[in-house]
Chain A
Amino acid sequence: MTRKILRINMTDLTATYEDIPEKWAKWAGRGLTTAIVYDEVDPSVHPLGPNNKLVIAPGWVSGTPAAPSSGRTSFGGKSPLTGTIKESNSGGLSSQKLGRLGIAAIILEGQPKDGKWYYIHIDKDGVTFHDASDLLGKGMEEVDRIMWERHPNEPAVIGIGPVGEHLSANAGISVNDPENNPGRYAGRGGLGAVMGARHVKAIVVDDKGGPGVEIKNKELFTQGRRKLTKAILAHDITKPDGGLNLYGTDVLMNIINEAGGLPTRNFSSGQFEGAAKISGEMIHEMVEKRQAGMTGHACHPGCVIQCSNIYPGPDGSIIASPIEYETAFALGANCGIDDLDFVAYLTKECNDLGLDTIEMGNTLAIAMEAGLIEFGDKVGALALMEEIRKDTPLGRILASGVATTARVFGVHRVPVVKGQSMPAYEPRAIKGIGFTYATSTMGADHTSGYTIAPEILGTGQKVDPFTYEGKAELSLAFQATTAFIDSTGYCLFIAFPILDIQEGFEGMVESVAGVMGWDIGPNDVVELGKEILKMERLFNERAGFNKEHDRMPEFMRYEPLPPHNVVWDVPDEELDKVYAWVHEG
């Protein structure tokens, strides 16, 4: 079956399957969410108003048989946190199921006239709308459980917690994992509030009996997926019992700390004395010692890397899944908290309430800097999360993210770009990632141009993290390649093997070309990625963003970061090189 667009209009509660117009036909994943938002959402709309849309798209290869680690779902819209276009993607069950139902994208638009809340069920027979009033106020753990009780075939549940209902700017979108835990998040940029503004609490996707993904050139697809799988299984980072599989993404904690680039206590130091206690090695040790939980967990069926984990508490009961490097940095190091159990308790709260863990941890750090509680006060941090659960005015402020909280409490050290706070790499000590934070179409974001691979990890190539020469080109190359990978449905972590193993890179491209019936090769990746970036950049320009928004927070320019005592010393003209091509030629 050829792919269809599923348009769900909440104003009149209708769902229609539309043919994909020619202009979108080549896209999937991020490319498709971006193309649709670019065409259908006026950049000047209010992100929470009636005219914003939420677009949900599986990647090119999602749902195909045995494409490795290909269950990523892209979510797009205009972001309430940044005011820019946004694509945030997530693992979990949804991508493969949408792909197998033949759905290229869901466009969720409008607002119910009666002001009621709904949840939506999608299967091979179509779409049904259900009253969600009994789900209101419930956390995602309960929502996932209830949806599996009510609907057969262990469906995907895409949902928002209470903060999404409140339209808070740090509301993420949860996707359940194979154990029906709500830990997989399209967290960044507040898209949960965009879903909440449509009055949709959850979207349940059951693919049983679905037509499956059409593969135009099966031979090429099979050849591609084999090459890619081989590269993933051979590479030291992604192979079974390799660093990612054993220790998860939090294997980076000790290493970035060693490099002096671990943001600590609201970005005041690049090293945290408690890093080892919240590292991936420690997660692994706790799982062994407590004989509960697991490492090497897959966030969706068919992931061969399996970087996720399920973290157990002292009594062996499960606290949260997963503890990622980003989570442990934001809720740990950046808050001065060195207790892994508390990092897990805070993660559980975020996952249940529907919050992005990066933005939430960084917000708690702002609250600490403002003196609401002390740095390192883990009990106090949980008490602040309770304010969000109780929906107090303070809770509302905290659920709005770093920039808002800093403004309310008079904090001037605010690590944000375009309203979105920085992830777990200090740009003063690792300059290339600063180029990505400053210029990304998404606000400060590491995944959109992960120069850490060559700057710290020596993957692909090795470059000096402390210099800025050549970093504009490096960041752009990563941003463009990432925009492509974000469209495939493959997890971004396939980037590690394919940066080093050319055959793996070819395999990724061939598997996509096989699905789509295309004749493209590795050299087309950057150009296709740049087409996506260009739409995003133009949307942002029309929303009022210009190069003056591609800048680092002021305090990073004058405040030396220990232990290397470096400042952000990159000239603005260097940053402006990254997107200069958009208006050339």
Chain B
Amino acid sequence: MRFELSDDQRLLRDSARDFLAAEFPLEETQRVVEHDPRGFDPAAWARLGEMGYLGLTLPAEVGGQQLGAVELAIVLEEMGRACVPGPYLDVALAAALLAAAGGRERLLAEIASGKAIVTIARQDAAFAGEAPCGIETANGKLRGRKYFVPFAAEAQALLVTTPGGVYRTDAPFAVTPLPTLDPTQRFARVDFDHVAERMAAADVVAGLEPLAAAAAAAMLLGVMSRAFEITLDYVKTRQAFGRPIGSFQALQHRLADALLRVESTRSAVYRAAWCLDNADPDAALAAASAKAYAGDAARLVCGESIQMHGGIGFTWELGLHFFLKRAKTLESHYGSTEVQLERALAAAGL
């Protein structure tokens, strides 16, 4: 039994951390999100493909690395730490859906190499979670509207979920941007009137929910870990009343609680990923729990990090806000907390 990463996994983590730190420093993210309407840099995206991160879990035949959920969690954690702008998580989930549906080697190969961006269009309304699906399908055509489609303007294809199955549609799309408080993640409303190919039954999407939950939780883990580390450094140097603010017990105890949340999220995320890789019967419960817990923990830890920085924490310049914002985005998508709570109850047989 061993919780620690294997040598290969550690290598993957270290190289991802180094690569992402060099490629996506916060200053660069600040620049890209303000000056590039796409919200990410396609050249940097292509380099993610070269590094093999875009085909991490895909089969070798399509240029993938055939790795598992644990490795995906490792890279997602690093993506969260660096608060990388762009659709990394969305594309990983769309690729998993395509792979689960079978076939479609060409599109998968394009995803793995970074040539194609494909995401999933699933949200049926801007607000309500369970609005009736507004998509109609007939005679190979798909019509209707989806909300919060990730990076739809850049996508070559979208996988559209309906109660009757998942459909693939190809660009161009009629896109209306839905700018949110998180500029590192772009969403749009898409009005479909497309030729569409039914590629999988609806239960294929349902079957991927635990992976989506664990994956989003892994990214949340990275987001909160980095915000926590930045804060820990800051409280050791910032002086007030003639001493470092980190010597005040009021802050120490909250930092201890934050550490507990970060480390507990780490246990939950990697256990869930491991359960998924090993078809463990606890996988669904572990994944839903990890996501529900990570959402709360990240909001709390990222919030504390701004609070403990004082005024400078509230500046755009410092960049801490990106972590809080990403935490909120990840919390509300990929199965929001209430959804995960229901899933956890169901998986626990309660």
Does B bind A? no
